[in-house]
């Protein structure tokens, strides 16, 4: 299992973006490559990045993360997209699943954001941070006891970060999508019998595409959201109003 912070754009005229990602192992193979390529391509097109540089580090290793990110140079924008979903009924949740989920979904976000925020403050940068959360932070879902808990905690972390980093002109928001049709999403939600009950609760009648989430992240990173911080932006097709 590899976690991969990905650095975008080293051009002096463009913002430098750190996109924190995690590879997901599955019987059908790693799900990271297509997700990474798509996100990097989409972000680079909008931000006019010409170079992509990757740095591999285990985000679950506190010291290794600290050492690796101390060498990446100036970062202007941060997207925390690392995440895992270990689904178990409440009465069957294991310590391993609990620890792994909180290590990746919350602690890694906390640590990476802490490191990068300190760098932004030292440089006097008016930066932006986007944490990728979920609609599951606000709605109980069967077999998602741990996952829902990590995402609820992430939403509150986002708000506290916004409160404390605001005086330093650093904005912090989250995006909270419904099921997204990534490679992983298609594997887990391609069966009509499983997908139908969820889709029936979404007023727009469909799951999100990667573009929907990427465009929301780009908005929150951009100056178009210059007065927006501490917000959880729903990308759920209306799921939470149904």
**Residues designated catalytic:** 147
With b for 16 or more beta-carbon neighbours within 10 A and e for fewer, the 112-126 pattern comes to: bbebbbebbeeeebe
167: burial class by Cβ within 10 Å (0-12, 13-18, 19+)?
exposed
In 3D space, the residue among 135, 149, 142 whose CA is nearest the CA of residue 88 turns out to be 142
| β pairing state of 77-80 and 52-54 | unpaired
Structural tokens at position 165: 């980093």
Q: Give the bridge partners for 77, in sequence order.
A: 17, 128
């Amino acid at each position: 299992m590899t976690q991969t912070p990905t650095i975008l754009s080293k051009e002096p005229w463009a913002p430098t973006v750190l996109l924190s990602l995690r590879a997901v192992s599955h019987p059908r193979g790693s799900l990271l490559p297509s997700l990474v390529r798509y996100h990097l391509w989409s972000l680079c097109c909008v931000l006019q990045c010409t170079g992509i540089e990757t740095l591999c580090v285990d985000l679950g290793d506190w010291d290794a993360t600290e050492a690796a990110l101390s060498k990446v140079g100036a970062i202007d924008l941060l997207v925390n997209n690392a995440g895992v979903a270990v689904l178990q009924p409440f009465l069957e949740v294991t310590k391993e699943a609990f620890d792994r989920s909180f290590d990746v979904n919350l602690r890694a976000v906390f640590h990476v954001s802490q490191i990068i925020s300190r760098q932004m403050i030292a440089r006097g940068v008016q930066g932006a941070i986007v944490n990728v959360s979920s609609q599951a932070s606000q709605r109980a879902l069967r077999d998602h006891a741990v996952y829902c808990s990590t995402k609820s905690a992430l939403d509150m972390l986002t708000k506290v970060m916004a409160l404390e980093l605001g005086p330093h002109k650093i904005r912090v928001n989250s995006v909270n999508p419904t099921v997204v049709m990534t490679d992983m999403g298609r594997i887990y939600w391609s069966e009509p019998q499983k997908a139908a009950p969820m889709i029936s609760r979404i007023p727009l009648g469909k799951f999100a595409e990667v573009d929907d989430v990427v465009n929301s992240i780009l908005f929150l990173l951009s100056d178009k959201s210059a007065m927006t911080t501490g917000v959880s932006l729903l990308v759920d097709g209306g799921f939470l109003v149904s």
